[in-house]
A and B are shown apart, each in its own frame.
Chain A
Amino acid sequence: MTKKLMKGNEAIGEAAIAAGAINYFAYPITPQSEVAEYLCWRLPEVSGVFVQGESEVAVGNMIFGAAASGKRVFTTSSSPGISLMQESISYMAGAHLPVVILNIMRGGPGLGGILPAQSDYFQATKGGGHGDYRLIVLAPASVQEAVDLTILAFDLADKYRNPVMIIGDGMIGQMMESVEFPEKYRDENNPDDFDWALTGADNRPARITKSLYLDPKKLEDNSIKLAEKYKKIVEAESRHELYHVSNDNQLLIISYGTMARICQTVIDELADEGISVGLMRPITLYPFPGAELYAEATKKNIKRVLTVEMSMGQMVEDVERYVVGKKPVDFFGRTGGIVPTPNEVKDKIRELLKPSPKAKKTKSSRKKQIKG
């Protein structure tokens, strides 16, 4: 394998091709546009298809139709564009269709800005569209991991017949790092391998792809079927990485994507000061590595758990959900396109770990009160 120096956006485009996904539909938007720019010349080289839709609403419906054909289908966008696709994402989840969607996040809400953010965590992991559905959500922290997770995303989408979303902050898309691709690229899927793909009902009964069930019992059955699928996903697909985790840690950071790398620098620098901090980096945001978080966070030596995000605090709600009040959960974040610097995070940690004389004071003052 040869190493290449590539921008995250371009590397993700190449990774889709490596995964045998050569059917691509998109509409340009900063900071994701280089994916489309790259694939518009690269796909013809591999006999692939790139259709630029007239809007993200159109793209959402194009991928819906294309995914029903059993071929691997890919789209990329950034926050406001992803919002426009939510209707079709809900439909595709309801219709059990595999598709991979990349969201290179920018600041929101609304049209927001174009600089990096992580404020689409709720949208990606808690729905976004309507109905009882989930997406598998993957969060790379480097260009190489973006490549690896893009390939994995297509495998997971096919395996569970469910939309998979890759979310990266703008930085993942814009930065260049060295990457390696698999030596052997996958061939395109053969739709005949699937008993659900719409391939033309010649010499076989017709198949139906839909998310409309007017009979409430049938609709409930579909939701139960989805829920059973999500249960399997939660049991089998949770992924995370630990950094500098040891029995000396006083504090555990939970952070994902580029923010986790900044926290890695924070941890190295604090170690030089004699402050021991560990990091747990969820790689899958859904399923969230909750059991693993509980195990790490409730260790005796951990005094506090700090969630660091480029948002006003979204993943922190999941962290609280799994730490279940066993340890204090704190939050630090910047948003709007501002990326927290290592210094800011270090200041927050020093402040949190400052021994507070408060507890003793209240005791002694209470004593005084009793005496008085």
Chain B
Amino acid sequence: MSGQIDVVFAGFGGQGIMTAGQLLAYTAMEEGKQVCWIPSYGPEMRGGTANCTIVVSDTRIGSPIINNPAGACVFNRPSLDKFVPSLRAGALLLINSSLIDTPSGRSDLIEVKIPINEIAMKLGNPKAANMVMLAAYVKATGVVKMKSLENMLITKLGHKKSALEINKRAFKEGAKAVSGLQVRDKV
């Protein structure tokens, strides 16, 4: 459908999946878009998969459940296995290559490997890995402006100076990882 972008963030508990998704949702809302964030909730196993779906649209959002997402950011191997089959043709797949060593096996996806854990470690805080991924997704799709995303980060983290600085650098690194890639029209 035109004017609607949907994406799944998936990984295991503790990787900041929900936070990354919520930051995207907040930013889209600030840009005046319709937005829906829905978590997987259920009897999940500790260390099992956690995921959330975000729908961003110019018009009223129908189903919050997305059959075939136009994008997926997968943070661990079980998430790759779980979501790759359902992605629509031409979807953007961002893979955390720090933890996933296999490709999706599909030839109809735009697939990018980003070692988000290594990048975050280099920045001095492994917890920033989710922000590397989020920035890569935003940069590649243009679903919201990078500037808006950064402003939202300042709103949410303004009181924690050091965390803010590291996350800002994580944004830069994430954007760099997908430089040259422009998939806006395809998702």
Contact = CB atoms under 8 A, between A and B. Distances in A.
Interface of A: 3, 5, 30-31, 114-115, 170-171, 174-178, 258, 261-266, 268-269, 337, 339, 341-343
A115 B42 contact: yes
Contacts of A3: 29
Interface centre among A177, A266, A337 (most CB of B within 10 A): A177
B16 to A, nearest CB: 16
Interface stretch (B62-70, B77-85, B134-142): B62-70
Given A175-B36, A341-B67, A265 B25 contact: no
B29 A341 contact: no
B63 A5 contact: no
Contact of B36 (A30, A176, A264): A176
A5 B38 contact: no
Contacts of B22: 5, 176
B133 to A, nearest CB: 19
B35 interface: yes
Interface in B23-82: 25-26, 29, 34-39, 41-43, 60-65, 67
B38 A342 contact: no
Contacts of B36: 175-177
A264 B63 contact: yes
A87 B38 CA distance: 34
A31 B39 CA distance: 12
Contacts of A176: 22, 25, 36-38
27 contacts: A5-B22, A5-B25, A5-B26, A5-B29, A115-B41, A170-B41, A171-B38, A171-B64, A175-B36, A175-B64, A176-B22, A176-B37, A176-B38, A177-B35, A177-B37, A261-B61, A261-B62, A261-B63, A262-B62, A262-B63, A263-B62, A264-B60, A264-B63, A265-B62, A265-B63, A268-B1, A269-B1
A268 B25 contact: no
B174 to A, nearest CB: 22
Interface of B: 1, 22, 25-26, 29, 34-39, 41-43, 60-65, 67
Given A5-B22, A5-B25, A174 B41 contact: yes
Nearest to A272: B1
Contacts of B38: 171, 174-176
Given A174-B38, A343-B67, 9 more contacts: A114-B43, A175-B39, A175-B64, A176-B37, A258-B64, A261-B62, A265-B62, A266-B63, A342-B65
Nearest to A264: B62
Contacts of B26: 5
Given A5-B22, A114-B43, A178 B34 contact: yes
B41 A31 contact: yes
Contacts of A269: 1
B42 A339 contact: no
A343 to B, nearest CB: 5
A261 B36 CA distance: 12
A66 B179 CA distance: 62
Interface centre among A30, A175, A264 (most CB of B within 10 A): A175
B177 to A, nearest CB: 27
Contact of A262 (B25, B39, B60, B65): B65
A169 B41 CA distance: 13
Nearest to A172: B64
Interface centre among A178, A269, A339 (most CB of B within 10 A): A178
B53 to A, nearest CB: 9
Contacts of B25: 5, 176
Contacts of B67: 341-343
Nearest to A115: B42
A312 B42 CA distance: 21
Contacts of B42: 114-115, 337
Nearest to A345: B63
Nearest to B60: A264
A202 to B, nearest CB: 50
Contacts of B41: 30-31, 114-115, 170, 174
A258 B63 CA distance: 7
Contacts of A115: 41-42
A264 B38 CA distance: 18
Contacts of A114: 41-43
A31 B43 CA distance: 11
B29 A261 contact: no
Contacts of A339: 65
B181 to A, nearest CB: 28
Nearest to B27: A5
Contact of A178 (B35, B39, B64, B65): B35
